[in-house]
Amino acid sequence: MNFYNLNEDKERLGFADAVCQGYGKNRGLFFPASIPRLADIDKLLEMPLVQRSVEVLHPWVGDDLDKDQLSAIVRQAFDFPVPLVQVDEHCYVLELFHGPTLAFKDFGARFLALCLQAFQAGKKTTILTATSGDTGAAVAHAFYGLENIRVVVLYPKGKISRYQEKLFTTLGGNIETVAVEGNFDDCQALVKQAFEDPSVTQNLNLNSANSINVSRLIAQVCYYFEAFSQLSPRHRNQVVLSVPSGNFGNLTAALFAKAMGLPIKRFIAATNANDTVPRYLQTGRWDVQATVATASNAMDVSNPNNWPRIEEMLATRIINPADLSGHAVSESETREAIKYLHEHGYLGEPHGAVAWRALQSTLQSGEVGLFLGTAHPAKFGQVVEKVIGEAIDLPDALKNSANKETLSTTIRGDYAQLRNILLAEGKGH
């Protein structure tokens, strides 16, 4: 499979090179030259997750991994449950938060880590990434203990929750964490400086492992097939999918799944108050406003970095624009949704609640709603406990890391300090 750069379509790479490179020239995103179409979807839906995922991923990966290698990677990456849970008569949630860091980002990060390890073939690599919470934990766990790969994660000191921080700053080994005295934008600016600094890039083989990487997207395609495999066959042509969106990687993967042949009827791009996309879908105007803080903070993004891929699918009619609508959900609606779900026997959290609420306003008779549970409720325990008026249990992953020592180095936020850290360990790479 070839991928072309959406900003410079003469740049074309195979899967392995696109994974190792991340962005194309001119910060362009890679997009598949053609989306593979799968035969006999019903037969695929009968298969177990790992076997089916190999079939879904193989046409994207091509000869860059042989089927045994791919199969071993998938088995290792997707080794946790992905239950589909019925929430009410017409609605189901696909729970994507049973991996090691309790958010859906485990799927993409783990697949990316194992692909990179295979493609680098022993060459030393430094993953440098900034996080506002969930990504750092998913990336750190995904690469933890992998040979020849060193991970440096930057995060804004004091601006992420204690549980989020403990999940990835207590690992040690090949995972280095840097607390920056500043905000998330400061962290991102430092990472950008490092990628533009020849004294760093000449000495280290740098990769950012961020959510625009094609391997992360195609890994996510697999769980949409898993959702359908757990759904009664009589519902399979009536599914309306609601995706709680921030950078729109998850929705991009859902649209890929449809283009591959999964019969998703239509899509809802569900957002919080950061509603650039719902407004765009209604008015045709791309009008980015200042980002506002909400309870679903992993979706506090006003200029989503995956949107050009969705735009490409709509413009080329890979996806019929009539099949995608947007819906923005307010803070009070989010809280009411968590409350409603709890009263009906389901413990939700702000991101999934946004997606559930967006479904309610559009579901028509005969249709079946499917939304994604992107994070474990305990990760957003403060909001959830306040709304439902009860304490919630901590899963083991959070309990275990909460008692461990934080191993981060703190820096003031000037680039020289980060450069020293990168080069100190990187000498001899």
Ligand X SMILES: *Cc1c(COP(=O)(O)O)cnc(C)c1O
Residue ranges binding ligand X (CB under 6 A):
103, 105, 134, 211, 244-250, 298-299, 351, 374-375
Q: Tell me the residue type at 166.
A: K
Min separation Cβ 268 and ligand X, Å: 13
- Which residue matches tokens 């765009």? 280
3-class DSSP assignment, residue 410: strand
The rounded distance, in Å, linking the Cα atoms of 116 and 22 is: 11
The rounded distance, in Å, linking the Cα atoms of 118 and 114 is: 6
Helix and strand numbers, DSSP H then E, in the chain = 18, 14
Min separation Cβ 380 and ligand X, Å: 8
Q: Residue 153 or 375: which CB sits closer to ligand X?
A: 375
The rounded distance, in Å, linking the Cα atoms of 247 and 271 is: 10
Min separation Cβ 428 and ligand X, Å: 35
Min separation Cβ 67 and ligand X, Å: 28
106, 142 Cβ separation under 8 angstroms: yes
Q: Residue 103 or 411: which CB sits closer to ligand X?
A: 103
Q: Residue 330 or 417: which CB sits closer to ligand X?
A: 330
Min separation Cβ 245 and ligand X, Å: 4
Q: Residue 236 or 351: which CB sits closer to ligand X?
A: 351
Tokens found for residue 7: 């900003």
Q: Residue 99 or 246: which CB sits closer to ligand X?
A: 246
Min separation Cβ 2 and ligand X, Å: 24
**Among 327, 358, 356, CA closest to 339:** 356
Min separation Cβ 324 and ligand X, Å: 14
The rounded distance, in Å, linking the Cα atoms of 201 and 29 is: 21
Q: Residue 169 or 220: which CB sits closer to ligand X?
A: 220
Q: Residue 24 or 304: which CB sits closer to ligand X?
A: 304
The rounded distance, in Å, linking the Cα atoms of 364 and 396 is: 39
In angstroms, the Cα distances linking 56 to 71, 105, 177, 224 are 11, 19, 34, 11
In angstroms, the Cα distances linking 114 to 102, 120, 184, 307 are 19, 10, 27, 26
Tokens found for residue 113: 């880590």
